[in-house]
A and B are shown apart, each in its own frame.
Chain A
Amino acid sequence: MVFSNPVFMFQYLALTLLVYYIVPRKGRNLFLFFINLLFYGWGEPVMVLLMLLSIAINYAGGYFVDKAKRSGGRHAAPGGKSRARIPLIITIIVDIGILAFFKYIGLIISTINLIPGVDLPMIEVSLPIGISFYTFQTMSYVIDVYRDDAPVSLNPINFGTYVALFPQLIAGPIVRYKDVAYQIDHRVETLDQFNKGVKLFVVGLGKKILIANQMGAMWEAMRATGEANGVLGSWFGIMGYAMQIYFDFSGYSDMACGLGNMLGFEFLKNFDYPYISSTVTEFWRRWHISLSTWFREYVYIPLGGNRCKIPRQIFNLMVVWFCTGLWHGASYNFILWGLYYGIILIIEKFLLKNLLAKLPAVIRHIYTIFIFLIGWVIFFFEDMGEMGAFLASLFNFSDGIVGTQALTIIMRYIVIFAIAVAACTPLGATIYNKFKDKGFMWLPETAYCAGVLTVAVAAMVQQSYNPFLYFRF
């Protein structure tokens, strides 16, 4: 189920909130557990079994890791941690195995088939939604228990509620168990928090329906006219895509955090104005923060991080970025996209750091924007030929500056595009924060909510064009 669907907003959410607040606090996790499964199984009920399996495996993993550590006394006996390694490694292997089977089996087989003489039959599996997100969540749990960063969860219902929590189930943020462990058992919902959640949800809904979908339509329209767009047209096209993916994804994260608030949860921020970054390193501190954090904590630092010699550091970074790329999809272009960032971040870290700091801010921003736009080209095109052709069109002036079709498309979306550009900066938030404690703020806030809800529902009713970009991850 997606958030911008009438069935979600006017039935699932309406029912969930109603029952959630009628049920006494003790029963709320149990209710959430079942309603999460309904959300997850909608459209593909059989996947509920996979979800339950995943919950069971990681629950057991956490249990045995904890047990092994404690064997011989309340506080871990010597050697407890090394005994705990066995259940930890088994759980991680099973988790990654499930993810690899459902998400990457096609890619793996077709890669093996590249070897001359090998011709394995293809296995068709449909990708369970959100599997990349919740697999990473469950792994974080077992690892955190192993590291003593989080308490073991003894109540399977509470643990299941965490894994399948519908707000962040299908498109993140990737909530680490240690960040919500306390909330799962002890959260207290308040009206203020609910109100905050509503505002955040509406902001996210607006980002998704009013900006992302429009920018996506602009990019689609540009792609249809192809080479006749001219250089400027092509740049506008990929900027449209950049806007689409940012507002789609961050809008979804906002909605997730907002829904979390409505149920008494606080999730960490997933985006922090990535497009205003002045270096690529900064961009990745601001983009999909929960994913970067995950890779830093569970891959980069265990590999030795930057507390080792430079060649090893470079190796570590490339491993992390290879994985980051691969996580985004089972296709070579995503790996290429990850490696592209790996290389640029290594260059920034070891070569450009001081030089960049000396450059004027404008140049640094242009440099960063250039890098992430090229990144989105690699990200978008699964077909290498099309990718190359599009990259060429960004620099090929023989196609002209801007085609007539492209110009009409640009003109049509220019207002939304300008709004999108402004919304990429903290300008709105700065103004809002200045006034947010003033007594009259209920008025603009309410007007904003009512306005966005009205227009968003209107667009929702109209739009069949409603795919979430991050659905396939």
Chain B
Amino acid sequence: MKSKIKLLPMVVFLLFIYVLAVLFIALPKKDYSSSEKRYLAKFPKTNFETITNGKFEKEYEDFVADHFPFRNTWIGINAYSNLLVGNNGNDGIYNCSDGYLINEPVSNDNRAEVNASVLADFAKSVKLPMTVMIAPSTGYIMDNVLPMNHRPYIDDKLYEQIVSTLGDSAQFVDIRAKFKSEAKNGTQLYYKTDHHWTTPGAYTAYTSLCDALGLTAADKSSFKVEKHSGFYGTTYSGSGFWFTPADSIELWKSDTDKHISLTITEGDKSEKYSSMYFKKHLKEDDKYPVFVDGNHAVETIVNRESDGERVLVLKDSFCHSIAPFLAENFRKITMVDMRYYKNSISEMVKKGNYDRVLVIYGIDNFATDTDLAWLS
């Protein structure tokens, strides 16, 4: 008996590899990973060519990795075991106090200046007034919840670079101070499990924008707040800290939503909707796409009751939750996501009869985006 028990490591090892090997074969393969928001790899094409050029092998490895048994459990084990050895987070996301999961700061080596100069050139070429608003990063505003050991957030430096590069080619709306003071007052401006600003955060940004443009922002009291719990966003699914509590997401509704039409255009196809809210996404873990149905190449909101300006908005997903507020003050809002839109913007400007260009980005995206360059 004593000599047999010595072999236990071997037994554990063999059980480990054979149980997982059998489970891999036996378990049904999912098509889609909701926590990663992507379709999982399919079993690769098998023929002489794909095998000899190595394509089959590469794709087969992806296939196995994508369908590894209990994949998310392993990701969680990895995340929490990282914390045990003094790591402050997992996979580029800090595990912060008060349930915040916050993206690490962007690297010093980034594209903020390049992108700002693309914008400046664009503003000059289209001869329309341009207003730029960049959302500060969660870590920069919520620095009190960050883990003791974290890399510095360089938002101040990036803002300075962007403002000086834009020069007088565009108006810049600096919301840092307002965000800091609102955060201090206890308003939750950012989600804890997602990288976006919350609806109160978007509203705060909206009021600043209105101030800068000389518009009257719709009053807080004019909205009916609808709260939905159980929101697990991008930093939740990216980090693997599965025990983090859920956020809730707020929809601030006014009568404006009844007077609008929303057209979503992808390539040659357009579809028209009568609300800016897509409730089907409230059933999912990531509820942020409830606003204007999430990422699309082009979305146009028309407010029939408004006599405000027509704006072209170059944006990332931070714009989605501020869009319903913008609809209060603008007649036509065309939102273009440069990550998905690959046609000429200047053509669009010529046809669209716009009064102004707005640029709304989160700073992390603005500093890393490589698609804004398509503008030039």
Contacts and interface: CB of A to CB of B under 8 A. Distances in A.
A459 interface: yes
Contact of B9 (A43, A198, A419, A457): A198
A416 B86 CA distance: 8
B71 interface: yes
B26 interface: no
Nearest to B75: A462
Contact of A13 (B17, B54, B58, B149): B17
Contacts of A303: none
B336 to A, nearest CB: 31
B74 A11 contact: no
B373 interface: no
B88 A455 contact: no
A461 B71 contact: yes
A67 B14 CA distance: 45
Contacts of B79: 462
Nearest to A406: B151
A7 B60 contact: yes
B123 to A, nearest CB: 32
A161 B220 CA distance: 77
B16 interface: yes
B177 interface: no
Given A6-B68, A416-B85, A458-B77, A195 B21 contact: no
Contact of A408 (B14, B91, B150): B150
- Chain A, interface SS category: helix
Contacts, number: 122
Nearest to A444: B9
Interface string A172-183: 000000000000
Given A5-B61, A224-B107, A411-B149, A458 B78 contact: yes
Interface string B11-26: 0111011101100100
B240 interface: yes
A450 B24 CA distance: 19
B142 to A, nearest CB: 17
A446 B8 contact: yes
A195 B75 contact: no
B9 A10 contact: no
Contacts of B64: 6-7, 10-11
A442 B54 contact: no
Given A442-B8, A458-B78, A404 B152 contact: yes
A405 interface: yes
Interface in A1-27: 5-7, 9-11, 13-14, 17
B18 A449 contact: no
Contacts of B109: 224
Contact of A455 (B8, B52, B81): B81
A432 interface: no
B78 A461 contact: yes
A19 to B, nearest CB: 13
B6 interface: yes
Interface in A187-202: 191-192, 194-195, 198-199, 201-202
B146 to A, nearest CB: 11
B12 A446 contact: yes
Interface string A249-276: 0000000000000000000000000000
Interface residues of B, number: 47
A117 interface: no
B248 interface: no
Contact of B74 (A7, A415, A446, A462): A462
Interface string B96-109: 00000000000111
A260 B14 CA distance: 16
Secondary structure of the B contact surface, majority rule: helix
B18 A14 contact: yes
A306 interface: no
Nearest to A414: B86
Contact of B10 (A7, A46, A195, A448): A195
Given A412-B86, A416-B85, A45 B12 contact: no
A148 interface: no
A227 to B, nearest CB: 11
Contacts of A453: 12-13, 16
Residue from A7, A405, A458 having most chain B Cβ neighbours under 10 A: A458
A199 B9 CA distance: 7
A282 interface: no
Contact of B87 (A201, A412, A448): A412
B9 A202 contact: yes
A442 B4 CA distance: 10
Contacts of A455: 77-78, 81
Contacts of A467: none
Nearest to B48: A45
A22 to B, nearest CB: 14
Nearest to B2: A439
Nearest to A439: B2
A411 B247 CA distance: 30
A234 to B, nearest CB: 16
B86 A415 contact: yes
Contacts of A199: 9
Nearest to B7: A195
16 contacts: A5-B61, A9-B17, A10-B24, A192-B7, A195-B10, A198-B10, A408-B151, A412-B149, A413-B87, A416-B86, A450-B16, A458-B78, A458-B81, A461-B65, A461-B74, A461-B78
Interface of A: 5-7, 9-11, 13-14, 17, 42-46, 191-192, 194-195, 198-199, 201-202, 224-225, 228, 404-405, 408-409, 411-416, 419, 439, 441-442, 445-446, 448-450, 453-455, 457-459, 461-462
Which 6 pairs of residues, A with B, have the shortest CB-CB distance? A415-B86, A458-B78, A458-B77, A461-B74, A195-B10, A411-B149
